[in-house]
Chains A and B, each alone.
Chain A
Amino acid sequence: MLRYTLKRLAAGAAMLIALSMLVFILLRLAPGDPVDAYIDPMVKMSAADMARLRAELGLDKPLPVQYLIWLRDVLHGDFGRSLQRTGEPVLALIGSRIGPTLLLMLSGFGIAIIFGLIAGVVSAVKRGSVRDGTLLAVAAVGVSSPAFLTALIGLYLFSVVLHWAPSGGMLTPAMPFSLHDLLSHLILPALILAFYQSALVTRYMRSSMLEVLTQDYIRTARAKGVRENRIVSHHAVRNALLPVVTLIGSTLGLAVGGAIFIESVFNWPGMGLLLVNAVELRDYPVIMGSTLVIGAWVIVMNIATDLVYAVIDPRVKVS
């Protein structure tokens, strides 16, 4: 198990390097000059000044060399500094943003997984009932609504019209920290993030449960005189979870995209907002650093999924 995890982590590191190369190249292919970010458009600069600035920033070297320099610095824990006036270290920026993102994502997914699994099981066990029909209808809406739509509708309805929740940010500015304040800011973006996810998990769990409930070992359990409740909880759910865990794992990784979007709609001070702002300002070091962190998140989630899978399925021997 440990060796397997280490192997996967090594493969993940290789993937991260590939990812950073890709982002590096794409950034340089994009129109615009990185040096522009440094210069005040009001001040006229001579060509010589420009060249000196370039040399100072290492931009005069060939691309591969630039990349290797960046990589070497990263390996030494130096992610560079933001190109903004403040010139904060990228690592410090990321450090201050990662907490809010984890808070938002984990509460969103927590809600989605708990709700989705329960709804999926209920829906499958009560197949064909009104409850099943209602859950299915809600799930259909959930999976087919694009995130921007639910985010905007949610924002408009609950904060603009109903005033149930603040319209953005994580804490009310100039107010002492309070848990209540944090939660009231968190609830709306977390629910919106959870909406799509829980619809997806509900559907998967339902169909997985329906499949499992027709299996021979379920009939065998009935032939042993096992109560229906226990058949569901002890014999069916764990088997039904197997395919769903894979799904949850991969969406947990991929849904970073949704989280980035929701962060920018709700002005949530997380990695997503950091990345979006950095892209707007062409803040290359910040873009590189945050992509790396987000990529690492996706990879770690995938490895975690495999490990959880191995724990619940005795047939999987990780090696």
Chain B
Amino acid sequence: MLHMTDMTEARPAPQTASGPSAEPTLRVRGLTTVFRIGRREMPAIENVDLEIAPGETLALVGESGSGKSITSLSVLRLLPGAISRIGGGEVSFRDREGRVRDLVSAGGEEMRRLRGNHIGTVFQEPMSCLNPVHRIGDQIAEPLILHLGLSRRAAFERVVELLAAMGIPDPARRARQYPHELSGGMSQRATIAMALACDPVLLIADEPTTALDVTTQAQILRLLQDLQKTHGMAMLFVTHNFGVVAEIAHRVAVMYAGHVVEQGRVADVFRHPRHPYTRGLMTCVPQPGDALALRRAGQALPTIQGSVPSITDRPPGCPFAPRCALAVDACRAAVPAMEDTGDGHLSRCIRWSEM
């Protein structure tokens, strides 16, 4: 197996029918989501910009609480409605028919028709994401019947095909089983089958391998990669593991305290991090000569001095300033703007050129 740097170089750019200038499947601009805490509304994510082309994988990384899940739930419009709302920004999504819609202003029924059909989602805990009282096959068949209008019989046949494509042996028997009869890896394959049932153009995967053991994790990642190649979908892959980023993503966005602080091609960001936070995270990423990057999969991110500020006490300026060795007064004055450091590699650090 190659070591990590080689892997990032070896991965070809996404191949799409319409070429690299193709319209992105997902374009997020200035997305801000606020939570009501007491009587005040606090931004959980602020001014998030992301873009994913068809066939491309964007990894969203960051420590726990940095806002990765809130970003994906905002895109899906599955935020806990009573306590949070999208405070601003745009989410343009190009559906399977090539129609571009703004998901922030989309109605509930419009979103419902997109979810599970044009947008597939895989969550972290496969076991708890499957309904314990329904058969696996019925759960995978649900979007097929709901969105594509398949008959139960046709849906079941499709489910068996899907499970087989997920590398599940004896798929017809598995389809009739209940979630508790499946292992974690098997369950995650089933939820991936569920997400891909209607052949979505965008797959949002929120830490889909975190709950699994290292071997299963590697298998699931490979499966997702293969599926992406055959389906050509765009993928937003949330993780807090740089080894996984190296394995699966074309581009990476690093989040810290609700902000995207750095974004670029995986190879560029890994080789020349342009934000002190990313550089801090990098220090424990497997070095050339290390065993397979995934051996590190189970490990937590390296500790940088201090901790992530909670949503209620984020500093006024750069959120990383209190933990940053390079911080100067200007950093604490205002949140730095996103700057292009060259070739689409973006950084939210005013001192990026000194790194």
State the A residues within 8 Å of B (CB). 128, 215-217, 219-227, 234-235, 238-239, 312-315
Top-9 shortest CB links A-B? A225-B116, A224-B116, A223-B121, A225-B115, A216-B128, A314-B178, A217-B131, A220-B129, A224-B143
Contact of B123 among A219, A312, A314 (CB under 8 A): A219
Q: Say yes or no: B116 contacts A314, CB within 8 Å.
A: no
Closest to A313 in B: B133
Q: Say yes or no: B112 contacts A314, CB within 8 Å.
A: no
Shortest distance from the beta carbon of A265 to any chain B beta carbon, whole Å? 41
Interface residue count on the B side (C-beta < 8 Å): 28
Interface membership of B229, Cβ < 8 A:
no
Q: Say yes or no: B130 contacts A217, CB within 8 Å.
A: yes
Closest to A312 in B: B133
Q: Which residues of chain B are near A220, meaning CB under 8 Å?
A: 121, 123, 129-131, 191, 194
Q: Which residues of chain A are near B113, meaning CB under 8 Å?
A: 225
| Contacts A217-B128, A314-B180, A315-B180 given; does A222 touch B133 at CB 8 Å | no
CA distance A307 to B128 in the complex (A): 25
Interface membership of B132, Cβ < 8 A:
yes
CA distance A224 to B76 in the complex (A): 11
Contact of A219 among B78, B114, B117, B195 (CB under 8 A): B78
Interface membership of B339, Cβ < 8 A:
no
Q: Say yes or no: B194 contacts A216, CB within 8 Å.
A: no
Q: Which residues of chain A are near B130, meaning CB under 8 Å?
A: 217, 220
> Which of A215, A217, A238, A315 has the most CB atoms of chain B within a 10 A radius of its CB?
A217
Q: Which residues of chain B are near A216, meaning CB under 8 Å?
A: 123, 125, 128-129
Q: Which residues of chain B are near A238, meaning CB under 8 Å?
A: 133
Closest to B140 in A: A224
| Contacts A215-B128, A216-B123, A239-B131 given; does A223 touch B115 at CB 8 Å | yes
Interface membership of B147, Cβ < 8 A:
yes
Interface membership of B106, Cβ < 8 A:
no
Q: Which residues of chain A are near B142, meaning CB under 8 Å?
A: 221, 224, 226
CA distance A220 to B204 in the complex (A): 12
Closest to B109 in A: A227
Shortest distance from the beta carbon of A262 to any chain B beta carbon, whole Å? 36
Shortest distance from the beta carbon of A212 to any chain B beta carbon, whole Å? 10
Contact of B115 among A222, A313, A315 (CB under 8 A): A222
Q: Say yes or no: B132 contacts A222, CB within 8 Å.
A: no
